[in-house]
Amino acid sequence: MDYHKNAPWAAVSRERLARMVIEDGVRLGSAAARFCVSAKTAAKWVGRYRQLGSAGLADRSSRPHCSPRQTSSLFVEKVVALRRGHMPGYEIARRTGLSPASVSRILRRARLSRWRDLNPPPPVLRYEHPRPGDLLHLDIKGMTQFGEVSLRGDGRLRGKQKHPGFLALHVAIDDHSRMAFTQMLPDQKADTTIGFLNSAIEFFARHGIGVRALLTDNGSSYRSRQFRQACQQMAIKHSRTRPYTPRTNGKAERFIQTALREWAYAKHWTNSLERDAHLQPWNDYYNRERPHGSLNYKPPISRSEIGTTS
C-alpha cells in the first residue's frame, strides 16, 4: 500500500501499539481500543513486531501463496504460441479447451491481446552524418491561404469569398547541424522546387556549409527529370526515401511539426499574409537562438562553420 509515512494507521502507529503491549505491559484489548482497531488486528501487529521487528510492520502483498486453479504454464505457452501464429482468441479457446476469459487474461499478461502487438513497428534507427553538408533533407508542406472574415449583426458571414488557394512551405534542413532554410512558395512544381534548392544552397554556403547530398521523399517534383538534371549539374547526390515511410526523412518531418506548432499555429493570425511574414523571423530564431534537444540544447548555428569560429 502506498501511504504517507505519518498517516494515522501507518507503520509508526503500529510500532507504538506493539511497544505499548510488549514494553509497557498494556493489555491487548486496551491498546486496541486506544488505537481504534480490533483486538485481532492488534494481535497481528504485535506478533509481527515480536518476530521481525519494525520491518514486519509494513503491508504485505495480498497475493495468495498458492493458486490451485491457476492455468498451467503448458497451457499458457500454447496459448501464446497460437496467438503468435495470428490465431484469434475464440479459436485459441476452442482448441485449448480454456474459457475465452482465461485466454483473454493470458493474452493481456503477454501483451498480445491486440493485433498490432503481433507486428510491432521496427525500431527507430537514429543517425547523424559527421560533417555539415553531408546530407540535406528536403520536404514540402502544403499551407492554406486565408483572409479575415467578420460576422454581421444577424450572424451571417461578411466578406467571405471563394477559397483563396494554397501555398507550399519548402523546407531544407542540414542533417548534422540542424540549420534550416524555408521559403513560402506558390506551388510544388519542379521549376519552383529547383529554384528553392538553388536558394537553399546559397543560404548554406553563406554559413560555410557546402551541400554534397540530398534526401527527399517521392514527391512528383523530386522525381522529375528537371530536378535530377539540376542535381547532376550541381554535382549533388540525390537519394529518395522508401515509399510510404516518412520516418526515413524524419529530421525534415520533425522540423515541419516544430514550425507548425511554434510559428503557423502559435497565435491567431488575421490572415495568411500576416502569418507568412513571421516565417523568416521565426526561422532565424530557430537557427540562432532556439535550443535544440539533440544538440545538447544549443542552437543549430553552433555547429555551422560560422558558429564554430565565432
Domains of the chain: total = 3
Query: Which pLDDT band holds residue 281 (cuts at 50, 70, 90)?
Result: very high
One domain, residues 280 and 227: yes
pLDDT of residue 310: 47
Quick one: 142 and 291 in the same domain? yes
What is the rounded average pLDDT for all residues in the chain? 88
DSSP H stretches of helix in the chain: 11-22, 28-34, 39-52, 73-84, 89-96, 100-109, 190-206, 220-223, 225-233, 250-259, 272-277, 279-288, 305-309
In a domain, 19, yes or no: yes
110 & 219 share domain: no
Whether residue 127 is contained in a domain is answered as no
Distance (Å, whole) CA 123 – CA 217: 20
Q: The pTM is what?
A: 0.65
Instruction: For residue 156, give the 3-state DSSP assignment.
Output: coil
Q: DSSP states of 198-254 as a string?
A: HHHHHHHHHTT----EEEE---HHHHSHHHHHHHHHTT-EEEEPPTT-GGGGHHHHH
How are strands ordered across the β-sheet holding 166-174?
180-185, 166-174, 136-144, 213-216, 237-240
Name the grid cell of 94: 476452442
| pLDDT tens per residue across span 36-68 | 889 998 899 899 889 888 888 877 788 888 888
Please check whether residues 299 and 167 belong to one and the same domain. yes
Tens of pLDDT, residue by residue over 184-237, are 999 999 999 999 999 999 999 999 999 999 999 999 999 999 999 999 999 999
Q: Is pLDDT above 80 for 275?
A: yes
| 278 and 203 inside one domain | yes
pLDDT above 90 (res 1): no
Residue 151, pLDDT above cutoff 80: no
Cell of 231: 542535381
The gap from C-alpha 238 to its chain's centroid, in whole angstroms, comes to 29
Same-domain status, 230 and 289: yes
**pLDDT 10s digits, 101-114:** 999 999 999 999 99
What's the pLDDT at 138?
A: 97
Instruction: Indicate whether 167 belongs to any domain.
Output: yes
Instruction: Give the C-alpha separation, 167 to 275, whole Å.
Output: 12
Both 100 and 189 in a single domain? no
221 and 283 both lie in a single domain: yes
> What percent of the chain stands above pLDDT 90?
59
Residue 3 domain-assigned? no
Q: What is the pLDDT of residue 6?
A: 57
Phi-psi region of 155 (alpha: psi -120 to 50; beta: other; left: phi over 0): left
